[in-house]
Amino acid sequence: MERPPGPWGNRYRVQYLKGHVTAAVTRDQLQDKERKVRTALQHVVKCNLEKEDMMDPIVIPPADCVISGWLLDVISKDQNDYMRYLRKFSSLLKPGGHIILMGCLEMSYFIVGKHKFHGFSYDEDFARKALVGEGFIIDRCKVKKRTDVSDHTDWKALIFIAAHKEK
Ligand SMILES: C[S@@+](CC[C@H](N)C(=O)[O-])C[C@H]1O[C@@H](n2cnc3c(N)ncnc32)[C@H](O)[C@@H]1O
């Protein structure tokens, strides 16, 4: 797998997380973690959450864990969409399987280049209720308030949730 170029590449993300979430972890430790994840990757497949069967035409066995970052925030138009997509993630998991969600809270837009995109604005309470409503048990939920200022987006905080599906 090639490292994607540009500001959304993995290097940026790892450094971003280093600055905001894992300040105690050194650059070497982060690079080691990144290497381990890359080595463990066996396949990269496309999915489309808007399809009835999001993995179509590939059939995959029930998963131990689904990790989704900043995806539901940008593709959901409203609360119903967000919950519908969570249901789709749930359908990929084994009973007792885990979900890790990362997202931006209260983001109504973000700008990339000359293009302005819609963000689905939600708060921690909604995210928690949506997960519980779709049969998940929340193990951890952390919210980190935004400290930087930029006109490129209006998100107020980052949310990190680890949950598991009821058996
Ligand atoms: C803000 S980016 C987040 C990307 C990545 N998770 C990250 O952390 O950098 C949103 C991603 O949603 C993907 N996307 C948009 N519509 C989608 C859909 N219907 N199904 C699956 N992915 C979609 C885009 O390709 C894009 O990579």
33-88 pLDDT, tens digit per residue, is 899 989 998 888 999 999 999 999 999 999 999 999 999 999 999 999 999 999 99
Highest mean pLDDT among 12-16, 35-39, 142-146: 142-146
* Residue at 114: amino acid letter: K
CA angle 58/63/66 to nearest 5° reads 100
Q: Report if pTM > 0.95.
A: no
Tell me which residue has its CA closest to atom 6 in ligand 1.
69
d(CA 131, CA 142): 14
- Judged against a pLDDT cut of 50, whether residue 3 lies above it is answered with no
Spell out which residues line ligand 1, taking CB within 6 angstroms. 8, 13, 47-50, 69-71, 74-75
Strand intervals (E) in 16-135: 63-69, 93-105, 109-112, 115-118
d(CA 90, CA 65): 10
* Residue at 21: amino acid letter: V
Contact between residue 122 and residue 106 where contact means Cβ atoms under 8 Å apart: yes
- Judged against a pLDDT cut of 60, whether residue 9 lies above it is answered with no
**Comparing 7 with 27, which gets the higher pLDDT?**
27
In 3D space, the residue among 34, 26, 48, 28 whose CA is nearest the CA of residue 1 turns out to be 34
- Which of 37, 75, 89 has most ligand 1 atoms within 8 Å of CB, for mutation? 75
